[in-house]
Chains A and B, each alone.
Chain A
Amino acid sequence: MAAVHGDAHGHEHDDHHPSGIMRWITTTNHKDIGTMYLWFSFAMFMVGGTLAMGIRAELYQPGIQILEPELFNQFTTLHGLIMVFGAIMPAFVGFANWQVPMMIGAPDMAFARMNNWSFWLLPVAATLLVGSFFVPGGAAAGGWTFYPPLSTQGGLGVDLMIFSVHILGASSIMGSINIITTILNMRAPGMTLMKMPMFVWTWLITAYLLVLVMPVLAGVVTMLLTDRHFGTSFFNAAGGGDPVMFQHIFWFFGHPEVYIMILPSFGIVSEVIPTFSRKPLFGYSSMVYATASIAILSCVVWAHHMFTAGMPTVGQLFFMYATMLIAVPTAVKVFNWTATMWRGSMSFETPMLFSIGFIFLFVIGGFSGVICAIVPIDIQVQDTYYVIAHFHYVLVSGSLFALFAGAYYWIPKWTGRMYNETLGKWHFWLSMFFFNLTFFVQHFLGLAGMPRRIPDYNLQFADFNMISSLGAFGFGLTQLLFLYIMISCIRSGDKAPQKPWDGATTLEWTHLPTPAPYHSFEKPPIVK
């Protein structure tokens, strides 16, 4: 990484700020807003996790035990929506808020007031989404992809979901514009694009993807809304519309969305692994290139989600080949992380454990993705638990594990206190064990033909479902341990040394005191 010269402790800090609740409501400080994003996303993670516990409790045994089928469908729908839009995406924006200005030597985000607005839209959207459980007819129940005709027929809950998605989309677009502008305009002198930390690069590319696809999502939910209330027939065959068109538009957003949720994880892992291997990132420029390639390719593979919806052979083959080719830049990344660790002076603190766990399990999720990309196989496993297993390997052991790695890695910088290393390692190993217990067996369930989004199932699926549910309860409880570790770190953790990770080379570690002051880099550092 870039060599940095300058004054490490020369900041004249003016740390006064409003106190109490008004500090948080009116703040324009990127660190405060980052903190709010992270707490919000954790709260949503708990809500989405509670829904997951409900789903797994119902699936613990065959038969209907605790959730009526209609409510079960609401649980699966809202679990997906809340985890994607409420937990994973805002968590990455929280990391971007905290880290991007500090890593590029900027004093704050480019549009500080818009930053505040981007965040405060989120609780409104979350209230609409969670509140929809309590309206007549309950929450949306057509799956997180809200395909018509289910979504054109649902009740008030679907309208609330549509408004919620609109608001979340607006928040994401504003957040992305902010991140792009900050990175392109506010880098410290000497911080050229090719000297930026990988986390900043991955976020820059992710932000462009967000600006590209969030309006598409907003468009498609607006079309749903007009179909529902204003007499249009975009997706209604009886009126000359086409429900498959919804799927094309949705997945033109939805597939880049997958990469929106994984590229910043690549960035976090690309910071953590060099630090704990005490070596520079292997193939930095190829990592940048691979990230850009993945982003471009992600826009031309969307229809692999719809192989069974009806498509000419030419279309099936095109999307199959294009999808399989994404494995190339992704493999470049995995090879580079492995090569970074190769012959490094490695140590295995919690962030490193989560990063290695990320590589190990993300590769499994990536390979099952290549398997799903093959049309004849996909037609067999479409809508089964195999797909559920695949995308949870990508999103839980991919995105979520990287978020944990990042949280442990940067919490000393954020709070000035160290987390409990022993408990952190317990958190990792318990998560690792229970995650695989939950989701590995779902591959077998899917291959045996168990469909997704059903509250009841045939007897032959009983054993694996019981194992999966036990794993899920364990995984859910383990995340309470994470909450405990973080709260005890913030309240009473040991004082963190100035630079707890001796291999860290980015500006926030080399150039700022620990904890990071409320206002940092008012005078930009010189990067050479």
Chain B
Amino acid sequence: MRRLQVSGLSTDKDHVSIWQVAKAVLSAFMGIRKKSDLEHDAATLKPMHVIIGGIIGGLLFVIGVFSVVKLVIS
């Protein structure tokens, strides 16, 4: 990804891997996160990353529960 230039200031917020967003969202679903990881997230993740990650996570959750149900009744 390209570096963002905002008001002449560069930001590292666009250097975010999908894996980092996934970890943040998954730990949010569990409600447990190491403090150092959290601070790293807060410094690097943008709200939009987390919101999109959360929606995808919610969809995966629904698909996951649905798969378990299918497995149980098959």
Q: Which residues of A contact B (CB under 8 A)?
A: 192-194, 283, 285-287, 289-290, 292-293, 296-297, 299-300, 313-314, 317-318, 321-322, 325, 328-329, 332-333
A314-B47 contact given A321-B68, A328-B31, CB 8 Å threshold = no
Q: Which residue of B lies closest to A332 (CB)?
A: B31
CA distance in complex: A296, B61 (Å): 10
Main secondary structure of the interface of A (DSSP, over half): helix
A317 contacts B69, C-beta separation under 8 Å: yes
A314 contacts B58, C-beta separation under 8 Å: no
A300-B33 contact given A194-B42, A314-B69, CB 8 Å threshold = no
Sample (16) of A-B pairs whose CB atoms are under 8 Å apart: A194-B42, A283-B31, A285-B35, A286-B31, A289-B29, A289-B31, A289-B33, A293-B28, A296-B54, A296-B61, A300-B61, A317-B69, A317-B72, A317-B73, A329-B31, A332-B30
A296 contacts B58, C-beta separation under 8 Å: yes
Q: Which residue of B lies closest to A335 (CB)?
A: B31
How many interface residues does chain B have, given as a range? 20 to 34
List the 10 shortest-distance A-B pairs measured between CB atoms, nearest first.
Answer: A332-B31, A289-B28, A290-B31, A317-B69, A286-B31, A296-B58, A318-B69, A285-B38, A321-B65, A329-B31
**Residues in A whose Cβ lies below 8 Å from that of B69:** 314, 317-318, 321
**Residues in A whose Cβ lies below 8 Å from that of B58:** 296-297, 299-300
Q: Which residues of B contact A (CB under 8 A)?
A: 27-33, 35, 38, 42, 47, 54, 57-58, 61-62, 65-66, 68-70, 72-73
Q: Which residue of A lies closest to B73 (CB)?
A: A313
**Residues in A whose Cβ lies below 8 Å from that of B70:** 314
The CB with the most chain A CB atoms within 10 A, among B28, B35, B72, is that of: B28
CA distance in complex: A285, B35 (Å): 9
* Nearest-Cβ distance from residue A204 to partner chain B, whole angstroms: 11
Q: Which residue of B lies closest to A194 (CB)?
A: B42
Instruction: Point out the residue from B32, B42, B54, B66 that lies within 8 Å of A292, measured CB to CB.
Output: B54
A292 contacts B28, C-beta separation under 8 Å: yes
CA distance in complex: A363, B1 (Å): 47
* Nearest-Cβ distance from residue A332 to partner chain B, whole angstroms: 3
**Residues in A whose Cβ lies below 8 Å from that of B73:** 313-314, 317
Q: Which residue of B lies closest to A317 (CB)?
A: B69
**Residues in B whose Cβ lies below 8 Å from that of A313:** 73
B72 contacts A293, C-beta separation under 8 Å: no
* Nearest-Cβ distance from residue A460 to partner chain B, whole angstroms: 38
**Residues in A whose Cβ lies below 8 Å from that of B47:** 193
CA distance in complex: A88, B27 (Å): 32
